[in-house]
Amino acid sequence: MILGEIGARGGSKGVPRKNFRDLCGKPLIDWSLDQLFESARVDAVVVSTDDPEIYEHALKKGALDIGLRPAELATDTAGKWGVWQHALATSEAIIGPVDAFLDLDCTAPLRADSDIDAALDLFFAQSPDMVMSCCEARKNPYFNLVEPDETGALHVSKPLPGGVVARQAAPVVYEHAASTYVVAPDYLRRASSIFEGRVIPYLMDPERCLDIDSPLDFKLVEFLMNDRLTGETR
């Protein structure tokens, strides 16, 4: 049993009401929600939200009726982990135990259907506590990420003996891409945060895991989505 989940608060400071804002003809959330409903591997879908309009929209599409998210999980400072734990517990009360908890971040709508399958395949092949979408970092703390000291002078964030003179020689660093996660339900129940267990990367191309956090991000994702849709209809 695979449970697909999407978290979608009604509020957003960077892009007001972004999760329900129109993107290329449908609400932003639907680009991810439709992927879950159309996946042959996902057995049930749940949407965790504090917004009645988003909630009713999800129910009409076939999501589980778990009620609105508790107030303490709907603040700007509420973490993803507590939201996931609540979504898992309330969903299992309806459908019974699940084997994998699949979260799609609705602010990253450019993932491909194949990313979902590949992340699930990796999870079941290696049995980690969690699979996390990542991409190769554009900047590296061993080479070209710097921070100021107490005098304001800049230094490499993570210096190595002898220094690193070329990016290719620096240790591999990934960006945590908020897109696609697969979590072991037992781990989600017992842990208190993401990195307590064995978390492994599912590597994605950077352009497929762009995350909307600002008006500029929305414009970039809209441009790339339009380009993708235009290419599909040529």
Structural domains of the chain, with CATH: 2-135+174-232 (3.90.550.10), 138-172 (no CATH)
pLDDT of residue 234: 46
What phi and psi values does residue 231 have, to the nearest 5 degrees? -65, -35
- Which residue, 59, 48, 80, is CA-closest to 194? 80
C-alpha span between 179 and 26 (Å, rounded): 19
C-alpha span between 147 and 129 (Å, rounded): 33
Report which DSSP code applies to 71.
G
pLDDT of residue 164: 85
Question: Tokens 């620096």 — which residue?
Answer: 170
Question: Which strand (E) or helix (H) includes residue 233?
Answer: none
pLDDT of residue 78: 78
Q: CA-CA-CA-CA torsion for 205, 115, 46, 182, nearest 10 degrees?
A: -90
Q: Which amino acid is at 176?
A: H
Provide the whole-model pTM: 0.90
Which residues, 6 or more positions from 231, have their beta carbon under 8 angstroms from its beta carbon? none
C-alpha span between 234 and 224 (Å, rounded): 16
**Beta pairing partners, 17:** none
Which residues, 6 or more positions from 152, have their beta carbon under 8 angstroms from its beta carbon? none
How many other C-beta atoms are found inside a 10 Å radius of the C-beta of residue 70? 14
pLDDT of residue 132: 97
Write out the two tokens for 115: 């990313």
Write out the two tokens for 8: 């979608």
The total number of residues shown for the chain amounts to 234
Chain centroid to CA 101: how far? 12
User: Checking DSSP bridges between strand 100-104 and strand 2-7, what pairing results, if any?
Assistant: parallel
pLDDT of residue 14: 64
pLDDT of residue 182: 98
What does each of the 234 residues of the chain score in pLDDT, given as a tens digit?
A: 999 999 998 877 667 788 999 999 999 999 999 999 999 999 999 999 999 999 999 999 999 999 999 988 877 777 899 999 999 999 999 999 999 999 999 999 999 999 999 999 999 999 999 999 999 998 899 998 999 999 999 999 999 888 887 878 888 999 999 899 999 999 999 999 999 999 999 999 999 989 998 999 999 999 999 998 987 654
pLDDT of residue 13: 67
Task: Classify residue 77 as left (phi > 0), alpha (psi -120 to 50) or beta.
Answer: alpha
C-alpha span between 211 and 8 (Å, rounded): 14
